[in-house]
Structure 1
Amino acid sequence: MEAARLHAYTDDMENGLSIDEIDRPEPEQSDHVVVEVQGAGWCQTDNHIIEGLWTDYVEQTLPMTLGHENAGEIVEVGDEVKTVSVGDTVICHPVMTCGQCRQCRLGEDMYCENVQFPGLTTDGGFAEYLLTSERSVIPLPDGVDPVEIAPHADAGITAYHAVKKATRVLNPGDHAVVIGVGGLGHIGLQCLDAMSAAEITALDVKEEARDLADSLGAHHTVDPTTEDVATVIGDITDGAGAEQVIDFVGRDETTAYAPDIVAPGGDHHIVGYGGHIHEPSQSLVNGEFSYRGTLVGRYTELQELVTLVERGDVSLRTSRYDLGDINTVAEKLEHGEIEGRAVITPP
């Protein structure tokens, strides 16, 4: 089968991956399933993997097939698989978990002590077929296109996970700020609108992104390049600040907004990454706000997100590319030229 493989870490996205012919995976354990990939979302994390930024956090053996936002049709199952069958159309939770460690029994899939992460630590879905496990696949309702929904396997569930934490403490009329209305942010904004009665303000440097935010339920939009963010948020909230801020950018300049825009006792959720937090401890003491990280999400949260998609509450802006265009997609994303999410469609 054809697969897009990383052979060496590089900053050159033009030649980051190569299309190789490799063996099709087969079930190696009784709970394994093989999925014929119909759609695999490209994520900013894929660019970071190519650059080698993940080597300090996980073990990676090259060459490796990338792709961790996967959906398609099950074509083979292990001997003890009971909950899905050949022919089922599924979306794949990003990680393969053991189901037996304490974190799994608590439902914390991302903290599994024996986790495998296709596309990050094992071969992923930028290929014709993907090996994963029964615990990782969620059958799709009739009428849900696996190509369109594929990016929800990571981008969607990550945005949903952050929003779900925020909406637990958002009361009707409270204020929430979404920073960045791109590939993740446009999903998060829709989840926030569907799951809360908060007043939503969206920040983005691009006019088209702010227009998109308007159409997706934002009550206010802010251009950080021409407006003082703290002043505008202060005016919108009558000086109280936003109870919840969801940062889909995660750069130094966006994490630095927190002391000036988060209401006392509120949260600044960091979803996008790559920047740093440079705040004196007294800022957190004075405002008693928190920075909160976001690491993908639970299996059950992906189920919940699929329900929102089926109901029409959340939709994706996607563009499709052939597997052979994989490096073109990487370059486009590197230069901010992809709106919404790019989806790779293997042959």
Structure 2
Amino acid sequence: MKAVRLHGYHQQPVVEDVPEPSVKGPLDVVIKIGGAGVCRTDLHIIEGQWAAAMDPPLPYTIGHENAGWVQEVGSAVTNVAVGDTVILHPTPTCGLCRACRAGQDMHCVESTFPGLDSDGGMAEYLLTSARACVKLDPATQPKDVAALADAGITAYHAVRKALPLLYPGTTAVVIGAGGLGHIGIQCLAALTAAKIIVVDRNPDALSLAGELGAGETVVADGRQVDAVLDHTGGAGAEVVLDFVAEQGAEHDGFAMTARAGSYFVIGYGGQVEIPTLDIISTERNLVGNIVGTYNELAELMILAQAGKVTLHTKTYPLEAAADAVADLDAGRVRGRAILVP
């Protein structure tokens, strides 16, 4: 089968032939990929930023946002059958550790992360686990929802954590209306009555944000912090969701956060430096976010299949993976890039 393989860091991945995966264990599931998202994390993987944390043997197949159809199942699989349409939770888990039993399965001590620490889904087929499969309406096209597997669940997870803070009359700021942010805006609009302010440097992204539910949009032109403070009467926002967290956005996010408010860090790549006095004197909170739970992915798919959360995508054939990576890196993708084998 064809797969997108990374042979070395700071090198572009290449499409090449590799053996098809097959079921080996009782809970194994082989998926025929119908859509694989191209994520900024893939850019960070290529740059070597995940090498120390994951240490995958090279070469390996990247791709951690995957949806498709069940091709083969192990002997103990009962939740899906051959032919079912599924989206995959990005971290197959054990189901037995304390984190899994507490419903925090993305912190499973035995989890794997296909596409980061092992072969992923930018390929014709992917080996995964029954525990990762969320069954979808057969009418759902995998290429239309694949990026919800990571970008979607990550955005939804952060918004869901923030819900108790976003009662009517509060304000949520979204920094970055791109691949993750445009999903976060829709989740906020679907689940809260908060005022939504979106900050981005790209006018097209801000235009899309307005269509998706933003009440106010702010151009990141160097005066964005003052603009947000103006929109909030000088107080700042109760919740700031930073889907960028690099190139200076990580400094803006905390400054836009109101006293006793919460700054949710979802994007990464930058470095947050805040005087401890500024934290304790204002009781502002920093909240980290990574992926989300299996149940949150299932909840998000209910919103998606009801039309309340939609992905804005640009599709590429698998053979054009290098073009998709280059377009994402250059900022030419609005929403998400999807590879379709």
Query: Normalising by the residue count of structure 2, what TM-score does the alignment of the two structures yield?
Result: 0.98
Q: Give the drift of 1:168.
A: 2.1
- Counterparts of 1:142 and 1:119, CA distance in 2: 25
Contact 2:199 2:218 survives alignment (8 Å): yes
Contact 1:252 1:276 survives alignment (8 Å): no
SS across alignment from 1:57: helix
Q: Report the equivalent of 2:289.
A: 294
AA matched with 1:87: G
Where do residues 77-226 of structure 1 align in structure 2 (5 Å cutoff)? 77-225=73-221
Contact 2:239 2:263 survives alignment (8 Å): yes
AA matched with 1:57: A
- Counterparts of 2:239 and 2:220, CA distance in 1: 18
- Counterparts of 2:97 and 2:155, CA distance in 1: 26
Q: Give the drift of 1:75.
A: 0.8
Q: Report the equivalent of 2:309.
A: 314
Q: Report the equivalent of 2:9.
A: 9
Contact 1:90 1:146 survives alignment (8 Å): yes
Q: Report the equivalent of 1:68.
A: 64
Q: Report the equivalent of 2:29.
A: 33
Which of 275, 280, 287 is 2:270 aligned to? 275
Q: Give the drift of 1:7.
A: 0.9
Contact 1:200 1:219 survives alignment (8 Å): yes
**Any idea what the Cα deviations from partners look like across 1:64-88, whole Å, max 9, x if unmatched?**
0001100001010001101110010
Q: Give the drift of 1:189.
A: 0.3
AA matched with 2:336: R
Q: Report the equivalent of 2:255.
A: 260
Contact 1:259 1:283 survives alignment (8 Å): no
Contact 2:242 2:253 survives alignment (8 Å): no
Query: Normalising by the residue count of structure 1, what TM-score does the alignment of the two structures yield?
Result: 0.96
- Counterparts of 1:8 and 1:259, CA distance in 2: 36
**Any idea what the Cα deviations from partners look like across 1:192-226, whole Å, max 9, x if unmatched?**
01100000100010111111111111111111216
Contact 1:200 1:220 survives alignment (8 Å): yes
Q: Give the drift of 1:229.
A: 2.4
- Would you identify which runs of 4 or more consecutive aligned residues in structure 1 move more than 6 Å? none
AA matched with 2:111: V
- Counterparts of 1:282 and 1:144, CA distance in 2: 50
Q: Give the drift of 1:259.
A: 4.2
Which of 228, 246, 249 is 1:251 aligned to? 246
Contact 1:268 1:289 survives alignment (8 Å): yes
- Counterparts of 2:3 and 2:95, CA distance in 1: 29
- Counterparts of 2:228 and 2:332, CA distance in 1: 28
1:233 matches 2:241: no
Q: Report the equivalent of 1:54.
A: 50
Which of 228, 232, 242 is 2:237 aligned to? 242
Contact 1:252 1:277 survives alignment (8 Å): no
Gaps of 5+ in 2: none
Note the aligned Cα RMSD (angstroms).
1.1
Contact 2:85 2:140 survives alignment (8 Å): no
Contact 2:36 2:63 survives alignment (8 Å): yes
- Counterparts of 1:240 and 1:278, CA distance in 2: 21
Q: Give the drift of 1:252.
A: 5.0
Q: Give the drift of 1:167.
A: 1.6
- Counterparts of 1:331 and 1:261, CA distance in 2: 32
- Counterparts of 1:241 and 1:85, CA distance in 2: 50
Q: Give the drift of 1:279.
A: 1.3
Contact 1:259 1:287 survives alignment (8 Å): no
- Counterparts of 1:259 and 1:99, CA distance in 2: 36
Contact 2:31 2:69 survives alignment (8 Å): yes
Name whichever of 53-62 and 91-100 sits farther off.
53-62
